[in-house]
Each structure stands twice: as C-alpha cells, then as structure tokens.
C-alpha cells in the first residue's frame, strides 16, 4: 500500500533557506510546497491543501503575525513559525494568535524535524482519535480519566491548580504553550496579566514531578515565551 506523504508548505522569502528546507524536508519523506511571500503563502495554503505550514515571521509583504491570524481564520492546520532570536514578543504574539510552535534562527535540522513530527502526530489524533486518557513520558504517567498522576508508579498528589496546569500542558504535549495561554486555560481570562501565577505553580509542580527541579526533564521553560511539556521518553 502506498503511503500518503504529508504536504508541508514553507513560506520563506530567503531563497537559500527555502532551498535548504525543501531539501531537508523532502529528504524526510514529506512533500514540500514553497511560497516566497505572505500573499503567495496564503494562496498556496488554499490551493495545495498542506498538512503543516512553516512560516517565517519576517516576510517582505506582510506582518507574519497577520499571516498566522489569516491562516487560523480558515483552518486548524498545524503551524510552525521561524523567527530571529531576541524577538520573543513577536514569537509570543504569533503563538497567542494560534501558531502551534516556533523555532529561532539558526535552528538545527533535528529540532525542526522533531517539531514537525510532534505536530503531525497531534493533528492525526485530534480529529479522529479518541481524547487521550493516559499521558506518559518517561516515568511520568497521568491518567486523565481518573485524574491521577504517577511518577515511577508512585502516586503524586497535586492541588487542583497544579493538576489543571499539567493537563493544559498535556493538551499540547511537545509543543510550546505561552504564559497567556496557560493563564487563560487554568485561571481564566480575568487573570491573563498575572504571569507570575504560572511561574509560581510551575515551580511547585516541578518540585513534585522533577527529580532535579533546576534541571527539569518534563516541564521545560522556553525563556521569554512559555513552557513545553516534553513528551519524549
């Protein structure tokens, strides 16, 4: 049986980077469609029906955040953004309006491929698969139906907020979640500016779930952007 090759749309204005992404992603068995500008990219997103979009935030014709917004209006297609480091504000904005993950330039091929895989996997689960009832990564196991958390088979007691924070991260396992998104999911829109809430509870959660909270294995910090729950063993 012939495998269906997922289609990846790359919206990037730099020809070399576009070429590199094309070569690298094709090499991993994905079909690559490229676009140079935001306008072209939005058109291709309609015509080529990609399974995932990689979008450079610094495009010549349009604000990258606007491209994200317009893509999101139409579909839930997985979306990874590329940006220069030191542009945390832009990254956070793009994530808040619906981008799924980000990479800062220069990035390694391995990182990019890992992100694409995580997103494609999640996209497959989302519409058809049943909601996840168990999350497992390494020694961490969360039984979502029974609301129980285990670390190396030992049950860990979490407070309601800690548990909600953990489940909000599980919903996007492997992907970055911004402070804003976590605040909204756990505390509600009224507390959206209280980003220290997230940090305080994340600290507590790390002390319960991590062997060495200063070197977390599961609950990773994306400085200036948010958090990522590591879902690899």
37 binds other proteins (CB under 8 A): no
Number of residues that bind other proteins (CB under 8 A): 29
Order of strands, edge to edge, in the sheet holding 219-222?
A: 176-178, 226-229, 219-222
Choose the stretch contacting other proteins; rule: CB under 8 A; options: 74-82, 117-125, 145-153, 191-199: 191-199
Omega before residue 106 within 30° of 0, cis: yes
Report the alpha-carbon distance of residue 17 to residue 42 in Å, rounded. 19
Out of 22, 31, 37, 195, the only residue in the binding site for other proteins (CB under 8 A) is 195
Out of 86, 117, 147, 155, the only residue in the binding site for other proteins (CB under 8 A) is 86
String of contacts with other proteins for each residue 130-159, x by CB under 8 A = -----------------------------x
88 binds other proteins (CB under 8 A): yes
Tokens read off for 178: 């911004």
C-beta separation of 122 from 174 below 8 A: yes
Out of 47, 160, 177, 208, the only residue in the binding site for other proteins (CB under 8 A) is 160
C-beta separation of 64 from 94 below 8 A: yes
212 binds other proteins (CB under 8 A): yes
23 binds other proteins (CB under 8 A): no
Report the alpha-carbon distance of residue 176 to residue 168 in Å, rounded. 11
Biggest CA–CA distance in the chain, Å, is: 54
Binding site for other proteins (CB under 8 A): 85-86, 88, 106, 159-161, 187-188, 195-197, 199-200, 202-204, 206-207, 212-216, 220-224
């Amino acid at each position: 049986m012939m495998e269906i090759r997922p289609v990846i749309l790359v919206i990037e204005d730099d020809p070399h980077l576009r070429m590199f992404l094309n070569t690298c992603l094709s090499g991993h068995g994905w079909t690559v469609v490229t676009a140079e500008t935001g306008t072209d990219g939005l058109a291709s997103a309609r015509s080529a029906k990609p399974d995932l979009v990689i979008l450079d935030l610094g495009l010549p014709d349009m604000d990258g955040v606007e491209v994200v917004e317009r893509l999101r209006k139409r579909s839930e297609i997985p979306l990874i953004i590329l940006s220069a480091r030191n542009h945390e504000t832009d990254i956070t904005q793009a994530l808040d309006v619906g981008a799924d993950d980000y990479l800062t330039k220069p990035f390694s091929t391995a990182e990019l491929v890992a992100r694409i895989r995580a997103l494609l996997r999640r996209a497959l689960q989302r519409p058809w698969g049943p909601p996840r009832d168990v999350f497992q990564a390494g020694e961490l196991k969360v039984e979502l139906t029974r609301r129980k958390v285990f670390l190396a088979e030992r049950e860990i007691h979490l407070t309601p907020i800690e548990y909600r924070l953990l489940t909000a991260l599980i919903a996007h396992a492997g992907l970055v979640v911004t402070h804003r998104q976590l605040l909204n999911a756990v505390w509600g829109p009224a507390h959206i500016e209280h980003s220290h809430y997230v940090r305080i509870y994340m600290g507590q959660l790390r002390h319960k779930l991590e062997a060495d909270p200063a070197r977390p294995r599961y609950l990773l910090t994306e400085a200036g952007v948010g958090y990522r729950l590591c879902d690899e063993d």
